[in-house]
Amino acid sequence: MTQQPLSASEKILKVKEMRQDENSAMTQQEPDYKQMANAVRALSMDAVEKAKSGHPGMPMGMADVATVLFAKYLKFDPRNPLWPDRDRFILSAGHGSMLLYALLHLTGYEKMTIEEIKNFRQLHSLTPGHPEIMKEVGVETTTGPLGQGIATATGFALAERVMSAHFPDLTEHYTYVIASDGDLMEGLSHEGCALAGHLRLSRLIVLYDDNGICIDGATDTSYSDDVTKRFEAYGWDVQTIDGHDIKAIDRAIEKAQKTDTPSIICCKTHIGYGAPEKQGSAASHGAPLGAAEIEGARKNLNWPHPPFEIPEDIAQLWRMVGEKNHSAYEEWENALSQNRHRATFDQVMAGDVSEIIAPLIREIKESFAKDKPKMATRQCSGNVLEILVPALPFLIGGSADLTGSNNTKVEGPGVITKDDYSGQYIHYGVREHGMAAAMNGMALHGGLIPYAGTFLQFSDYCRPSLRLAALMKQRVIHVMTHDSIGLGEDGPTHQPVEHLAALRAIPNFYVYRPCDGVETAECWELALNRHDTPCALALSRQGLETVREASKENMCARGAYILSEGKGKPDVTLFASGSEVGLAVKAAAALSAKKHSVRVVSVPCMDLFFEQDGAYIEELTCNKSVKIAVEAGVRQGWDRMIGAHGYFIGMASFGESAPADVLYKHFGITEDNIVATALAALAKK
């Protein structure tokens, strides 16, 4: 009788059974787990000592937990570090980076050589002080600012569930996190973990290093939270174990994998485990142990080997760990090759949407240019999304409880819930920082393009996550509406005056401030086509007249461009962004009526403009005309456009509570003031 070929799902099940057999075989070698963990401890304390800088305590304390996790449970393949269905491991306690580097070296990541371990914290090494994203060597995300890793993990775990809803035969993996007291102290961890519990992200497992020590000493000097009750309140499964008991660690992770909620395992550990004098004290947290203490630790750990030397029997056990999932990887690749959705899966993982959106953007631009609506750019953005979201099933939106104000949800695609992950929209609740961190995790996971909204003023609430997105070069799109004093009556607490400048100050973070529907469509196209930078779309609350015509070229792609030009060389050049471009156009008409040649330059993205070639920058900025910049924010940043002696019409204070038109007049951001400023400046020439 001919045997029927296995289906893709049957093959994956078979691979799981093979992994269980492999793990059972390794269980027989459990007495060696302690020495395997000691290899991690030794490399960690040796590297920190050589660098004369670093945090040896956490790696030494969590070595047992990490060893069991990597040896028995973590699905990864050092030969194929970008395997889409690998488990994600996040070291949220990034100060303990040597724990991760030691594990990556021991399990066989080719680039993580012993020389890289010896170059810990040195220039251009693969072993910086805190983990910085290097997926090709097993570093999934940048951590260091505490709380970021554990909150980003919510995004990783959510992305896995969304991808699994669409590709169930190709996506089934866990997100594991090692977190510290400091991670849980940071308020960001509350936002991220509460959201994870609400969405019942059952494949998220946190290993909490509960060592009772922080930089200032014992954690009870500042921290007395009942962590178990806290996480039970979030809807998580909670366990407490001895973090140095191999069997207890094993049982806890096995149980956590089977829950239908996120899991946290509180691991009671000793920081600096093995150090004769510094174990259990803050002295082992953030400084080298010193030669004498390391010698004593080697004796206590029964580790008589020289610095950076791993005996062959222990090295072989770790190499086996690195090889244990290679057959699973090959089976997954085989399943992918036979999957009827392979082309879609590959396209989604590549994330290139340029060909899909190009004709749609052209159509949208032509519609805006033809109808010339007077419309808030937040509404223009909503109209753009009505076209883009159905065409891009893995464009995942959301809002921090401001859906109706941000115009981020479109008709049709469903909401992602704990019961259904197949939708395209997330209700993040009032969690701006947690939202931004989760979006980073979704982008880092791969396959999804996250966008979500809040008010521009609340960029202050999530700035650390925006900065990390820029540092990690991730495509994360923030829709930030109510972008100026134009929001009116809500008053100065809600009116962002310094926020455009503050966001523009972040390297590799693009701030797009479109002036109408045509520019809004172009900015969305740029945001989606740039894979290596996050951005903010700063959008108006108040209605704006359409000033642009449709064009084949994306004019916003150069960051700034000539919107209108007078006859001959300009006497006055008006630079403006967003809602103030319309004012500049009207002022130009008034000045032209007085026989002055006026150039209007729209500046939708200052960051992009200064990436252009020198000739183009000079063409727009280096003439002898009177230069005036107009923006309903502070001046900072505009001197690069207009020079220190140029004129600025905008804000020099916080706002006030009043209708938008009253505020613009009160603060002098008007057509009349632009004209008067220009005439006065011309009179001085």
pLDDT in tens, 263-309: 999 999 999 999 999 999 999 999 999 999 999 999 999 999 999 99
For residue 423, give every residue at least 6 positions away whose Cβ sits within 8 Å of its Cβ, in sequence order, or none: 413, 414, 415, 416, 417
**87 lies in the same domain as 204:** yes
650-677 per-position pLDDT tens digit: 999 999 999 999 999 999 999 999 999 9
What is the arithmetic mean of pLDDT over 113-131?
98
Q: Could you tell me which residues are beta bridge partners of residue 208?
A: 179, 266
Contact between residue 508 and residue 471 where contact means Cβ atoms under 8 Å apart: yes
Sign, Cα dihedral of 154, 258, 418, 349:
positive
Q: What values do phi and psi take at 112, rounded to 5?
A: -90, 70
Residue 357 lies in a domain: yes
Question: For residue 439, which of 399, 411, 471 has the smallest C-alpha distance?
Answer: 399
329-339 per-position pLDDT tens digit: 999 999 999 99
Q: How far apart are CA 575 and CA 648, in angstroms?
A: 9
Please state, for a pLDDT cut of 70, what percent of the chain lies above it: 95
**238 lies in the same domain as 313:** yes
Residue 166 burial (C-beta neighbours within 10 Å; 0-12, 13-18, 19+): middle
Of 512, 539, 566, at which residue does a domain stop? Answer: 539
Backbone Cα Rg of the chain: 28
Report the C-alpha dihedral over residues 135, 462, 385, 401, rounded to 10 degrees.
130
For residue 286, give every residue at least 6 positions away whose Cβ sits within 8 Å of its Cβ, in sequence order, or none: 54, 55, 57, 95, 215
Q: Could you tell me which residues are beta bridge partners of residue 241?
A: 267
192-214 per-position pLDDT tens digit: 999 999 999 999 999 999 999 99
Residue 345 lies in a domain: no
Instruction: Give yes or no for residue 8 having a pLDDT over 90.
Output: no
CATH number of the domain that residue 524 is part of: 3.40.50.970
What is the arithmetic mean of pLDDT over 548-563?
97
**324 lies in the same domain as 357:** no
Instruction: Give yes or no for residue 497 having a pLDDT over 80.
Output: yes
In this prediction, residue 685 has a pLDDT band, given cuts at 50, 70 and 90, of confident
Of 334, 359, 387, at which residue does a domain stop? Answer: 334
**94 lies in the same domain as 206:** yes
Please state, for a pLDDT cut of 90, what percent of the chain lies above it: 95
Beta strand pairing call for 217-218 and 213-214 = antiparallel
In this prediction, residue 615 has a pLDDT band, given cuts at 50, 70 and 90, of very high
Terminal-residue alpha carbon distance, the chain: 98
Contact between residue 200 and residue 237 where contact means Cβ atoms under 8 Å apart: no
**70 lies in the same domain as 138:** yes
Residue 443 lies in a domain: yes
Report the C-alpha dihedral over residues 528, 532, 534, 535, rounded to 10 degrees.
-60
Q: For the sheet containing 598-602, what is the strand order?
A: 561-564, 598-602, 572-576, 626-630, 647-649
Side-chain half-sphere CA neighbours of 474 within 13 A: 34
Q: Please give, one letter per residue, the 3-state secondary structure of 529-590.
A: HCCCCCEEEEECCCCECCCCCCCCCCHHHHCCEEEECCCCCCCEEEEECHHHHHHHHHHHHH
Provide the residue range defining the domain that includes 665: 557-684
Residue 495 lies in a domain: yes
Q: Quick one: pLDDT at residue 441?
A: 98
List alpha helices for 235-340, DSSP H: 246-256, 291-300, 312-323, 326-338
The mean of the pLDDT values for the chain is: 95
The widest CA-to-CA distance across the chain, in whole angstroms, is: 99
Contact between residue 152 and residue 180 where contact means Cβ atoms under 8 Å apart: no
466-483 per-position pLDDT tens digit: 999 999 999 999 999 999
CATH number of the domain that residue 646 is part of: 3.40.50.920
Secondary structure (3-state) at 242: strand
Instruction: Give yes or no for residue 153 having a pLDDT over 80.
Output: yes
Q: Quick one: pLDDT at residue 10?
A: 53
Residues of the chain by 3-state class (helix, strand, coil), percent to 5: 50, 15, 40
For residue 364, give every residue at least 6 positions away whose Cβ sits within 8 Å of its Cβ, in sequence order, or none: 383, 384, 387, 517, 521
**327 lies in the same domain as 360:** no
**192 lies in the same domain as 97:** yes
627: Cα separation from own chain's centroid: 37
Contact between residue 629 and residue 637 where contact means Cβ atoms under 8 Å apart: no
CB burial string 588-613: b at 16+ within 10 A, e below: bebbbeeebbbbbbbbbbbbbbeebe
Q: Quick one: pLDDT at residue 559?
A: 98
Q: What's the whole-model pTM score?
A: 0.95
Residue 340 lies in a domain: no
305-329 per-position pLDDT tens digit: 999 999 999 999 999 999 999 999 9
**417 lies in the same domain as 507:** yes
For residue 116, give every residue at least 6 positions away whose Cβ sits within 8 Å of its Cβ, in sequence order, or none: 101, 105, 125, 126, 127
Instruction: Give yes or no for residue 3 having a pLDDT over 50.
Output: no
Q: How far apart are CA 666 and CA 462, in angstroms?
A: 31
Of 539, 570, 592, at which residue does a domain stop? Answer: 539
10-29 per-position pLDDT tens digit: 544 554 555 455 444 444 44
Residue 262 lies in a domain: yes
Question: Could you give the angle at the alpha carbon of 641 between the alpha carbons of 635 and 643, nearest 5°?
Answer: 80
Whether 331 is a known active-site residue: answer no
With tokens 């401001």, the residue in question is 402
For residue 357, give every residue at least 6 positions away whose Cβ sits within 8 Å of its Cβ, in sequence order, or none: 388, 391, 392, 525, 528, 529
**227 lies in the same domain as 362:** no
Catalytic residue among 186, 432, 519, 522: 432
Residue 458 lies in a domain: yes
Q: For the chain, how many structural domains are there in total?
A: 3
Residue 630 lies in a domain: yes
**401 lies in the same domain as 507:** yes
**95 lies in the same domain as 124:** yes
**147 lies in the same domain as 13:** yes
Region of 412 (left: φ > 0; alpha: ψ -120 to 50; beta: rest) is: left
